[in-house]
Amino acid sequence: MASSRLHDFPVSFFSTVMGMSGLTIALHKLEKTLGLSDRISLGLFALSLALFAVLAGLYLLKLVRYPAAIAEEWRHPVRISFFPTISVGLILLGTAAQAVDLDLARLLWGVGAGAHLLLTIAVMSSWINQTHYEIVHSNPAWFIPVVGNIVVPIAGVNFAPADLSWFFFAIGLLFWLVLLTIVVYRLIFHTPLPGKLVPTLFILLAPPSVGFIAWEALSGGIDAFARLLYFSAVFLFLLLMVQVPRFSGLSFTLSWWAYSFPLAAFSIATMVMGEKTGTALYVWAGLGLGGVLALLIAGLFARTVLAVVRGEICRPEA
């Protein structure tokens, strides 16, 4: 039983690290805003790092025992997009670790950024040379490999030459627009997303939110382009809120974690707007979003643990 569950251990499990790390960064900002102790965010960072270590250990064991199963995931037109959740998780852990230890943060960020560049090239090469993808395979999870590059500059401005951060930002921004066109076309003109992929719609919120945070870090302020990115995120957030009834009737799968990091990114972006503009509306909105984010991830974490205990995940797809 344990062996079969390891065989079906999905790479998408690493999306939990993205959500937990995003919450860690958001809570650290909340603590600074409210003048509170950083004990909660430090504890959450330790939990996120431990979670990554456990998942990485299990996936390495799967690589040793069931390499063919990982090769099958890589060839899958949807699951291949989740391999970069490993590197994005490392980058986010490195970003969060800045409040803990700069050497650790630099190590996590550096390994994550290097791995993500390699994974971006590998995934895009798979797309370009593919023979079995169809338009119905496209979904918002496709943003992860390329748009994940936008996460790099958030901490990269502190760890590497500015041009390296601009390099990653350019990759993410360019292919966000390319993939946004493809995904919106698929959503409008083709069959609706299958139920288990519906939560990935929330990923639409991540690119402009992260893009705003990265742009502010690179440019050092809130300018016209920063506002364009932020208010694009605001509109997408409102659009997604209208879809909540569609989300509420879904059965639990790991894809529910797609709600977490995008909301974390939007929460942090709103906090940055409040911090840099001094506008009370953004400050209070950031606090409110941070509270909702904490409740959401607490619920997702509890539901995931329950699903593991019940054997609802890590099993063959129907």
Amino acid at 103: D
Q: How far apart are CA 144 and CA 15, in angstroms?
A: 10
Can you tell me whether residue 82 is helix, strand or coil?
helix
CA pseudo-torsion sign 163, 164, 166, 167: positive
As a whole number, mean pLDDT of residues 141-159 equals: 93
Do 147 and 104 meet the contact criterion of CB atoms below 8 Å apart?
Answer: no
Do 268 and 213 meet the contact criterion of CB atoms below 8 Å apart?
Answer: yes
Residue 207 buriedness (CB in 10 A; 0-12 / 13-18 / 19+): buried
User: Mind listing the pLDDT tens digit for each residue in 76-129?
Assistant: 888 999 999 999 999 999 999 999 999 999 999 999 999 999 999 999 999 888
Do 237 and 266 meet the contact criterion of CB atoms below 8 Å apart?
Answer: yes
Residue 194 Cα to chain centre, angstroms: 20
Residue 318 pLDDT exceeds 80: no
Alpha-carbon Rg for the chain, nearest whole angstrom, is 19
Fold classification of 11-310 (topology level): Glycosyltransferase (1.50.10)
Q: How far apart are CA 72 and CA 246, in angstroms?
A: 31
User: Mind listing the pLDDT tens digit for each residue in 230-276?
Assistant: 999 999 999 999 988 887 778 888 889 999 999 999 999 999 999 99
Can you tell me whether residue 284 is helix, strand or coil?
helix
Do 112 and 93 meet the contact criterion of CB atoms below 8 Å apart?
Answer: yes
Residue with tokens 């760890």: 159
130 or 190: which carries more pLDDT confidence? 190
Can you tell me whether residue 138 is helix, strand or coil?
coil
150 or 33: which carries more pLDDT confidence? 150
99 is written with which tokens? 């409040």
Q: How far apart are CA 16 and CA 134, in angstroms?
A: 28
**Percentage of residues in the chain having pLDDT higher than 70:** 98
**Which of the four pLDDT bands, split at 50, 70 and 90, describes residue 287?**
very high
